[in-house]
Chain A
């Protein structure tokens, strides 16, 4: 393929696999779209918008899946490891963009592809084997039922290529658990919105990659200068040079708890009295064995943990008991919150075990934990009894949490209800008010009543409630780039829009969002321009982010979403926080949303104006 490639940064080739017919084609990347949408989230959303009817059932063969890298994926730019899974979410029925690091995205570039587009549904369990330009769709009946870690081992043995990098689904994806994820490199997840269930519905177990090619640069000298400058800034930032390497994302548990913003027991409280037990400090002191980096990452926030001695035999489960003797990864902050304080569980060992189970079985640890929390409230309020749940689903029960991980992935007993996600589960049981999320997706680990901007970010997030689309916590709690009052609603519309647009651009480059704790788009710009040869300006990059955000919104409109979906649960809007530093607060979404619509150039019902469409080239 290299003979036709005139692009730099991008490989210039898209791999298309029709799983129904087994047809495999390679086509040139649309250069105009590449310029206007960069890559990753941007290009994925553009291709999906052009190619697919948004009204289809996410688990039907008509849904498509796009695995998209950015032009800086596979380069030595700090944290240039990311790929994005773009599809219609099984959990949300909205467009989703699920991001993962590790080594899989870069390997796809080295094999020669910017994107892989999957269509249709395979007649039998299958996996895709890509070794540079050799691409085969192979039978995977013998892999069906295996966990993620078993699948990786079996595939490497079978293929006989030790350096193979694998993304796969576990039993949760096969069983169409609504929040199943896609795992790569054992511990890295394209986590949210049920992308693993979509892959399972296509009968695709795994994509195994080996690439021996490289990523070329349009202007190597300018590129090298750009990447050194960014790395130097990252070395000077207290967050990227000290906080994240030392404690990982888990450093946030105590910080957020002290602000009274750590949702607890399905958002019934916002302070967790056992927060210290599940904090990054405790994890680092008692269970951490190493920091693990993704490809080209100079931060290395990954937490490699172990369960020493007696700790490994607590909470017995049947899945791969040998795993408890080795090193695994996590939990990260969001997982520690969802399975920890949201379920009232303060035993770090239970969280480590449940987190590893989520990774091995292929489930999003956030939605899993939050769905168990909703089930625990249903149990607490007597909506379901032990006759139905089999085990007492009491808040704080570490045994129940760990047991539910297996039951949910395999849809056993009450796990079958939890596997539908908390929105469907609470609706089926007649108590929809216990669902804590937006567009069918559970919240992340920040209480929207205590951090007002996060409420607006959750309510307007195109892929459902998510912390990765507008992380206003940076400004409202951490003071980056400047400190804002978390309780105030002023300026939150503006900061939310700015963060949403900038984040969309970062997600399009192939870089990791964690860079933004230390650097901004201005530091990424020289590398992006020098790698691709496209003379982007800062203004253009911001504009590209806005274009991506609005295109996702348009897609959701076509899928049936309206401004009425830009809302929060009644508990968040009407029930004041009962105690703690943020006592008495509700989220005042009504004060922020109209201003946000206006800033976005949308009408009062949240419909994108024709003028805005024209400005962004989205007519």
Chain B
């Protein structure tokens, strides 16, 4: 199954991915609605895009009291069913990675659905820092964490 992969070393923090993601959802350029976020650690020169990596054991899905989160059989993405979601936001608390969001206008939860198998963020990235490729396991979180950790380690050492 294809997974989203983040190669933090290639990211320049331009946030084209956030703009593409927001555009797909809202038809405007509104990064506050993006479900991919670039974390910018200026002092360590680390720019790290970050989004839902579609956990096998998805706590958002488990926590939802009305079973509004399902699994897209084509992509394995965990997706919010708007007509079922009641806007309780329990999923945003359950997600350990902070990649489940709440829309105060529609009162619905929203998250990365991999654009149905053709992620806009991947297409928009000018440096190839995002890929959508076949992987057994999402392998990028470890390298992401490693890089961010090195940034903090660097800060503490000095």
One of A213, A296, A300, A304 near B30 (C-beta < 8 A) = A213
A290 touches B30 (CB 8 A): no
Binary per-residue interface labels of chain B (14-49) against chain A in the complex, 1 for a CB within 8 Å, 0 otherwise: 111001101100111111110000000011110100
Q: Which residue of the partner chain B has the closest CB to A294?
A: B14
> Does B15 contact A295, Cβ atoms closer than 8 Å?
yes
Q: Does A76 contact B (CB under 8 A)?
A: yes
| Closest residue of A by beta carbon distance from B14 | A293
Given known A-B contacts A76-B23, A214-B22, A326-B158, A292 and B47 have beta carbons under 8 A apart: yes
Contacts of B47 in A (CB 8 A): 290, 292
B residues near A403, Cβ cutoff 8 Å: none
Tell me whether A76 and B30 are in contact (CB under 8 A).
no
Residue A216 at the chain B interface, CB threshold 8 Å: yes
Chain A residues, CB < 8 A from B14: 293-298, 300
Number of interface residues of A (CB under 8 A): 35
Whole-angstrom CA separation of A214 from B13 in the bound complex = 19
Q: Are the CB atoms of B27 and A110 closer together than 8 Å? A: no
Q: Is B67 an interface position by the 8 A CB rule? A: no
* A570 CB–B CB distance under 8 Å: no
Q: B124 near A: Cβ within 8 Å?
A: yes
Number of residue pairs across A and B with beta carbons under 8 Å?
80
- Is B126 in contact with chain A by the CB < 8 A criterion? yes
In the assembly, what is the distance between CA of A325 and CA of B27, in Å? 43
Answer whether residue A289 sits at the interface, using C-beta atoms and an 8 A cutoff: yes
B127 within 8 A of A: yes
For the complex, is B75 an interface residue (Cβ under 8 Å from A)? Answer: no
Taking CB as reference atom, which chain B residue is nearest A531?
B29
Q: How large is the interface on B (under 10, 10 to 19, 20 to 34, 35 or more residues)?
A: 20 to 34
Interface string of A197-227 (1 = CB under 8 A from B): 0000000000000011111110010000000
Q: How near does chain B come to A110, taking the closest CB pair, in angstroms? A: 7
Nearest-neighbour CB distance to chain B for A309, whole angstroms, equals: 11
Contact B19 A76 (CB under 8 A): yes
Docked Cα-Cα span, A295 to B42, in Å, equals 14
Which residues of chain B from 101 to 158 have any CB-CB distance to chain A below 8 Å in the complex? 124, 126-127, 155, 158
A465 within 8 A of B: no
- Which of B16, B27, B127 has the most CB atoms of chain A within a 10 A radius of its CB? B16
Residues of chain A contacted by B158 (CB below 8 angstroms): 322, 325-326
Which residue of chain B has the shortest Cβ distance to A291 in the bound complex?
Answer: B12
Q: Is the CB of A296 within 8 A of B15?
A: yes
By the criterion CB–CB under 8 Å, are A326 and B43 in contact?
Answer: yes
Closest Cβ of chain A to B18, distance in Å, is: 9
B44 and A110: CB pair below 8 A? no
Q: Are A76 and B28 in contact (CB under 8 A)?
A: no
Residue of A nearest to B124 (CB): A76
Residues on the B chain within 8 Å of A298, using CB? 14, 16, 126
Q: Which of B12, B31, B45 contacts A300 (CB 8 A)?
A: B12
Q: Is A267 an interface residue (CB 8 A)?
A: no
A185 partner residues in chain B, CB cutoff 8 A: 42
Do A293 and B12 touch across chains, with their CB atoms under 8 A apart?
yes
Q: What's the nearest-Cβ distance from chain A to residue B111, in Å?
A: 18
* Interchain CB contact under 8 A, B23 and A327: no
When A74-B29, A76-B23, A220-B27 are in contact, do A327 and B13 touch as well, CB less than 8 Å?
A: no
Interface residues of A (CB under 8 A from B): 74-76, 110, 185-187, 211-217, 220, 231, 235, 289-298, 300, 302, 304, 306, 322, 325-327
| Residues of chain B having any CB pair with chain A under 8 Å | 12-16, 19-20, 22-23, 26-33, 42-45, 47, 124, 126-127, 155, 158
Q: What are 6 A-B contacts defined by CB distance under 8 Å? A: A74-B29, A214-B22, A217-B28, A292-B13, A294-B14, A302-B12
